[in-house]
Amino acid sequence: MPPHEPGRSTPADRGATPLASLWRTRVYLRPYRWQLALMLVCAIVAVGSEIAIPLLTKSMIDGAISHGERGLLLPIGAAAVGLGAGQALLSFLRRWMQAGAVAGMEQSMRADIYAHLQRLPPAFHDEWQSGQLLSRATTDLSAIRRFAGFGTITITEHLNHLTPKLAPKFRRIN
C-alpha cells in the first residue's frame, strides 16, 4: 500500500459514508432499472402468495372441514398448490432476471476500473503491488454484487416475517 501523503485526502477523510459510496452504484444499476423493478414485483407477489397459503389452510380447516363441506376441499387445495407453483415460478423468474442484471452491472464496473487503472500514471503502479490492487477490486466488486443481487431482494422476501407483528392476530372466538 502506498504511504499516506498528508496533502492527499482519502474517502474516509472526506467524510464519505458507506451509504454514500453505495449510492454511487446507481449509475451502474440504471440500465437495469426496469429489470430490477420487475424483480421486486416478482418478490413481493411471491411473498404475498407465501402469506396466502396458510390463510387458505385456515379457511379449509375452519370452513370446509369443520362444517362438513367436503366439496370445498379440492378447490381450496388446488388453490394452495397453484399459489405454491406460482411462487416457485416467480422465484425462478426473479433469480433469472437478477443474474443477468447483476452480472451486467459487475461487468460494467470491472470495465470502468480497468479503464481507470490504465489512465493512471506509471508512478502509481510502482507504489502498489498488482496482486493487492486486483484483490481489493475483486473483493469490493464481489460485495457490491452480492448486495445488489441478494441483499435487496432478500430484505423484500423476508418482510413476511414482520407480518405477524404488523397485522392483527386472528383469534377464533368460541
pLDDT tens by residue, 127-150:
877 778 878 888 888 888 887 777
Tell me what pLDDT residue 153 has: 67
DSSP string, 100-124: HHHHHHHHHHHHHHHHHHHHS-HHH
Cα separation, 32 vs 10, in Å, equals 30
Tell me what pLDDT residue 92 has: 92
Cα separation, 83 vs 25, in Å, equals 35
58 has pLDDT over 50: yes
Helix (H, G, I), strand (E, B) or coil at 5: coil
Cα separation, 161 vs 156, in Å, equals 10
What is the overall mean pLDDT for the chain? 78
Residue-range domains of the chain with CATH: 32-166 (1.20.1560.10)
pTM: 0.63
DSSP string, 76-103: HHHHHHHHHHHHHHHHHHHHHHHHHHHH
Decide if 69 contacts 39 (C-beta within 8 A): no
Tell me what pLDDT residue 61 has: 86
14 has pLDDT over 70: no
pLDDT tens by residue, 69-113:
888 888 988 999 999 999 999 989 988 888 888 888 888 988 998
Diameter of the chain measured on Cα atoms: 83
